[in-house]
Amino acid sequence: MKPHGLRIVTYNIHKGFSQFNRHMMVHDLREQLRLLDADIVFLQEVQGKHSLHAERFDDWPEEPQHEFLAADVWQSTVYASNVVYEHGHHGNAIISRFPIRQAFNQDVTQLRFERRGLLHCRIDVPDWPASVHCVCVHLSLFARSRHRQMDALVKYLESVAEQDSPLIIAGDFNDWRNEANAWLARRLGLVEVFEGAAGTPSAPGRSFPAKRPVLRLDRIYVRGFSVRQAKVHSGNPWSKISDHAALSAQLNHNPERTA
């Protein structure tokens, strides 16, 4: 990591399986994530446990997916299960090169059949005067539920994060109408990284489906940073790993920066 900079990645990993669940891809996923050399990774649809897959696949990792992916590279991990079933559970995770503290998962479920949570933690970056607030999200497929979840997200952060504190919110917003940009800019002072990298109003990157992305579902929003670069990682090999593309952003710490 360069001084005062962070490289961020967000990725919906589809529980470690390729599109349509054809192939188990968690080992390829780990290899490709490491090539991105991120400091903090926001992961959605992380399989914490699945006893049936463990019996079916000889090379299914013994540890939860977030620990398997982070091993020997990212020293700190936090995971929260959102969907629990008889043979296991899955949810969101954040893995980091730096110490994670004060992790909390806020249940924002709106529909019984669609369990959702907001995973929040503080990350201590060496030589920075303040911790970075990080939130990993996976929002509803339905607009009305998404609006309520974003409102809950804003109210929660207003209560726990100082207005001038560095903040990163990343994940699968399922926001194909691009409503989150104005919402989060107005209420939390956030900027979407593709807009920040361009320096002028622009649309988020297209991230779904991974082979030839059309929909702008995945996002990285920041406060207290300037954006050096934002990139969509789609096509081969990413399209063989998950149905979503990964997003990355190179950030410079800028305490005076507001959206």
Give me the tens of pLDDT residue by residue for the chain, a chain 259 residues long.
444 689 999 999 999 998 877 889 999 999 999 999 999 999 999 999 999 898 999 999 999 999 999 999 999 999 999 998 999 999 999 999 999 998 999 999 999 889 999 999 999 999 898 999 999 999 999 999 999 999 999 999 999 999 889 999 999 999 988 999 988 999 999 999 999 887 766 789 999 999 999 999 999 999 999 999 999 999 999 999 999 999 999 999 876 654 3
Domain that holds residue 96: 5-253
CA distances from 122 to 62, 131, 157, 161, 165 (A): 28, 6, 12, 10, 11
In a domain, residue 108? The reply is: yes
Token digits of residue 209: 């489906």
Reported residue count of the chain is 259
Angle at 124 between CA 119 and CA 130, to 5 degrees: 100
In a domain, residue 259? The reply is: no
In a domain, residue 205? The reply is: yes
In a domain, residue 232? The reply is: yes
CA distances from 64 to 47, 51, 170, 215, 252 (A): 7, 11, 21, 30, 32
In a domain, residue 224? The reply is: yes
In a domain, residue 99? The reply is: yes
How many other β-carbons are positioned within 10 Å of the β-carbon of residue 156? 16
CATH code (residue 97): 3.60.10.10
What secondary structure letter does DSSP report for 18? -
- The count of structural domains within the chain is 1
0.75 exceeded by pTM: yes
In a domain, residue 246? The reply is: yes
In a domain, residue 258? The reply is: no
